Amino acid sequence: MAKQLSGAGLRGQVAGKTALSTVGITGSGLTYRGYDVKELAEKCQFEEVAYLILKGKLPTEQELADYKARLRSLRGLPQALKDVLERIPKDAHPMDVLRTGCSMLGNLETEENFDQQQDVTDRMLACFPSIICYWYRFTHDGVKIDVETDDDSIGSHFLHMLHGEKPSELHAQVMHVSLILYAEHEFNASTFTARVCASTLSDMHSCVTGAIGSLRGPLHGGANEAAMEMIEGFTSPEHAEEEMLGKLARKEKIMGFGHAIYSDSDPRNEIIKMWSEKLSKDVGDDVLYPVSVRCEEVMWREKKLFCNADFFHASAYNFMGIPTKLFTPIFVMSRLTGWAAHVMEQRADNRIIRPSAEYTGEELRSVPALKDRN
């Protein structure tokens, strides 16, 4: 059943059209250009889905090979961008690093006209993992890594640069799934940010920079990091249950649960949960996954709140040795496809987005002289 949508936060109001995805129309379904996300996550690589979202159709074998080769060739970073990254402090949040990296790229490789929109998007898709890993490894390990790896996929490129070795097949596959699940989600807050920016006829880098800022918050993409910070403090399922009940009694918001559109489940959860369980067996974990499952049970039993896409991403990423503060940047590496496709869609049928406000302030009044104010 679809969620009843009304009230603040523009909930339930149609703010534009899209042919890119449907979210929660049947209560819990998600499709990208008509394909069920579950089927895409089962059968496709992320690059196929990026191609689908950005170019409108699934690629043929040859088109996919060409697209991947093109993305591989675009992984390098200009020296001026590396110089900027080297100056950003170690304790900066990687989402701020990515926001600055994207903005700097826009200075160095500016989108001069909209004919370049596919090219600048491909470039960002190829080099965002390089930006984040170059900064991370420079500030944390003191090394200037080679970002031009020959890895087959974006996810493998990321893990290779992060860990200094090629990922296992299992990890490469989980990255495909994760990036597919995060790729596109209709008019969520960050995508809407990108579309508002696009509606002023601004450039692609500005739209994406703004969207990164919106995704950073814990009510949106930042929830995967917040969920990790919570579950890593639980030592057993019993401990998790006790703490969760305390949080609920104190009316705290629990990150990784609930959704603005879905009513009783997020279709991405069962998929990433399944992979998280596989990874937990792979690493021999007997705490984090059972703790996560208990959190899910308690939230449903007590509040009928379900895990959204972010919750089991936390344990899955942790099992792959990814530092918590890099979780949301991975979301960016993927959602970039959705953002850019929405920018292109907005540009193709544009009117500046400019809603109205209901005024709740003072009636008209005159300005008192400085000496008469208190």
Ligand X SMILES: O=C([O-])CC(=O)C(=O)O
What residues act catalytically?
220, 259, 310
| 219 lies in the binding site for ligand ACO (CB under 6 A) | yes
| 246 token code pair | 């305390």
Cβ 245 to ligand X shortest distance, Å: 26
Nearer CB in complex with ligand X: 125/223:
223
Q: Per CB under 6 A, which region of 97-105, 137-145, 215-223, 271-279 contacts ligand ACO?
A: 215-223
Q: Which long-range contacts (CB under 8 A, 24 or more apart) does 37-44 make?
A: 37/180, 37/181, 37/267, 37/268, 37/271, 38/267, 38/271, 40/180, 41/177, 41/180, 41/181, 41/271, 44/176, 44/180
Angstrom distances, CA of residue 263 to CA of 28, 267, 278, 304? 7, 11, 27, 10
Member of 52, 260, 272, 326 binding ligand X (CB under 6 A): 260
CB atoms within 10 A of CB 65: 12
Q: What are phi and psi of 241, to 5 degrees?
A: -60, -45
| 220 lies in the binding site for ligand ACO (CB under 6 A) | yes
Cβ 2 to ligand ACO shortest distance, Å: 13
| 185 lies in the binding site for ligand X (CB under 6 A) | yes
Q: What are phi and psi of 267, to 5 degrees?
A: -60, -20
| 305 lies in the binding site for ligand ACO (CB under 6 A) | yes
Partner whose binding site includes residue 223, from ligand ACO, ligand X, none (CB under 5 to 8 Å by kind)? ligand ACO
Member of 207, 223, 228, 271 binding ligand ACO (CB under 6 A): 223
The answer to whether the CB of 94 falls within 8 A of the CB of 132 is yes
User: Can you tell me the distance from the alpha carbon of 175 to that of 254, in angstroms, rounded to the nearest whole number?
Assistant: 25
Alpha carbon 92 to chain centroid, angstroms: 19
| 330 lies in the binding site for ligand ACO (CB under 6 A) | no
Pairing of β 30-32 and β 21-23: antiparallel
| 111 lies in the binding site for ligand ACO (CB under 6 A) | no
The answer to whether the CB of 223 falls within 8 A of the CB of 308 is yes
| 258 lies in the binding site for ligand ACO (CB under 6 A) | yes
| 188 lies in the binding site for ligand X (CB under 6 A) | yes
Interface mask toward ligand ACO for 307-326; x: CB under 6 A:
-xxx----------------
| 226 lies in the binding site for ligand X (CB under 6 A) | no
Nearer CB in complex with ligand X: 24/155:
24
CB atoms within 10 A of CB 55: 14
Nearer CB in complex with ligand X: 123/216:
216
Partner whose binding site includes residue 253, from ligand ACO, ligand X, none (CB under 5 to 8 Å by kind)? ligand ACO
Q: Identify which of 343, 369, 359 has the alpha carbon closest to the alpha carbon of residue 16.
A: 343
How many residues touch ligand X under the rule CB under 6 A: the total is: 7
| 20 lies in the binding site for ligand X (CB under 6 A) | no
Cβ 99 to ligand ACO shortest distance, Å: 17
Chain contacts with ligand ACO (rule: CB under 6 A): 219-221, 223, 253-260, 305, 308-310
